[in-house]
């Protein structure tokens, strides 16, 4: 990869997201450790202990993650799976919650790190680990989904970005051929009996109605229930989202049309 992709513009050269995952891993993974910037309890899921990790293999223009997504070299410290587990436990204990996740990144990067962390979660007091993924690496390697299926506490949330290859490439920066990978991930999750649901960025300001129909049909082809229970996402005005959107060539003032607090 000649230039490491950072913030997306419509003219950014399109990239292979599996290759970008590898290059990003060379920055954010070291042996079994991964870079994180913070540990805290987030209000979503009615309170969840969260490790905010560094690095992703897509470059969605609506992404809300911090600048560590674009400049992983500049952010975070390396934590072993045991360090991360300890931090997650400490945060959870303070708020008396039993849920955990990794956020702010693509959690499936640094496979060895994630699997070791899930082993620790499996024999702990946590009762669920919510694995929020863009589905690229699961779709690229079925054996990764097989490995995940061994953990009873994992619940996967696959977040789709588009309803056709052209829109996928436009919004994420990835080459259009890789559009299918998250759908493959869904098929593999079904094959291995992993608990999951599907979410998608169907905000009508981003995804035209016709494309939403394409997406729903694609999901129905796999299983009608996936479309029925689809979680539809809205694009919230996080600070990083506003800047990324602006760099992408969309005026956030016109996009949001209301004053932010």
Task: Give the interface with ligand SF4 as residue ranges (CB under 6 A).
Answer: 56, 58-60, 63, 65, 69, 106, 134
Inter-CA distances, 228 with 84, 184, 208, 217, Å:
36, 19, 19, 11
Of residues 120 and 240, the one with the C-beta less far from ligand SF4:
240
Of residues 59 and 153, the one with the C-beta less far from ligand SF4:
59
Token look-up 């990835």 returns: 174
In the bound complex, what is the minimum distance in angstroms from residue 56's beta carbon to ligand SF4?
A: 3
CA gap 172, 170 in Å, rounded: 6
Of residues 89 and 161, the one with the C-beta less far from ligand SF4:
161
In the bound complex, what is the minimum distance in angstroms from residue 63's beta carbon to ligand SF4?
A: 3
In the bound complex, what is the minimum distance in angstroms from residue 62's beta carbon to ligand SF4?
A: 7
Of residues 56 and 245, the one with the C-beta less far from ligand SF4:
56
In the bound complex, what is the minimum distance in angstroms from residue 28's beta carbon to ligand SF4?
A: 13
Q: Checking DSSP bridges between strand 48-53 and strand 99-103, what pairing results, if any?
A: parallel
Of residues 56 and 194, the one with the C-beta less far from ligand SF4:
56
Longest alpha-carbon distance in the chain: 49
**Phi, then psi, of 205 in degrees rounded to 5:** -75, -15
CB contact set of 158 (below 8 Å; sequence gap of 6+): 133, 134, 135, 138, 182, 185, 186, 189, 196, 197, 198, 199
Of residues 55 and 81, the one with the C-beta less far from ligand SF4:
55
In the bound complex, what is the minimum distance in angstroms from residue 197's beta carbon to ligand SF4?
A: 16
CB contact set of 147 (below 8 Å; sequence gap of 6+): 111, 115
In the bound complex, what is the minimum distance in angstroms from residue 82's beta carbon to ligand SF4?
A: 25
**Could you give the angle at which helices 81-95 and 111-122 cross, rounded to 10 degrees?**
50
């Amino acid at each position: 990869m000649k230039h490491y992709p950072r913030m997306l513009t419509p003219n950014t050269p399109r990239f292979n997201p599996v290759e970008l995952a590898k290059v990003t891993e060379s920055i954010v993974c070291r042996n079994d450790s991964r870079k994180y910037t913070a540990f805290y309890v987030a209000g979503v899921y009615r309170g969840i202990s969260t490790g905010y990790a560094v690095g992703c293999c897509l470059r969605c223009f609506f992404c809300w993650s911090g600048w560590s997504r674009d400049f992983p070299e500049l952010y975070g410290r390396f934590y072993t799976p045991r360090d991360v587990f300890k931090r997650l436990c400490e945060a959870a204990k303070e708020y008396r919650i039993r849920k955990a996740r990794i956020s702010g990144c693509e959690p499936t990067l640094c496979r060895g790190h994630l699997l070791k962390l899930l082993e620790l979660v499996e024999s702990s007091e946590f009762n669920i680990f919510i694995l929020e993924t863009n589905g690229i690496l699961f779709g690229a390697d079925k054996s990764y989904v097989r490995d995940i299926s061994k953990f009873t506490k994992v619940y996967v949330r696959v977040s789709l970005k588009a309803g056709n290859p052209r829109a996928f490439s436009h919004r994420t920066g990835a080459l259009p051929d890789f559009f299918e990978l998250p759908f493959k991930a869904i098929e593999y999750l079904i094959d291995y009996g992993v608990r999951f649901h599907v979410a998608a960025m169907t905000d009508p300001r981003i995804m035209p109605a016709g494309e939403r129909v394409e997406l729903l049909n694609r999901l129905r082809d796999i299983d009608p229930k996936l479309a029925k229970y689809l979680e539809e996402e809205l694009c919230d005005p996080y600070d990083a989202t506003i800047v990324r959107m602006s760099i992408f060539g969309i005026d956030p003032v016109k996009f949001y049309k209301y004053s932010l607090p």
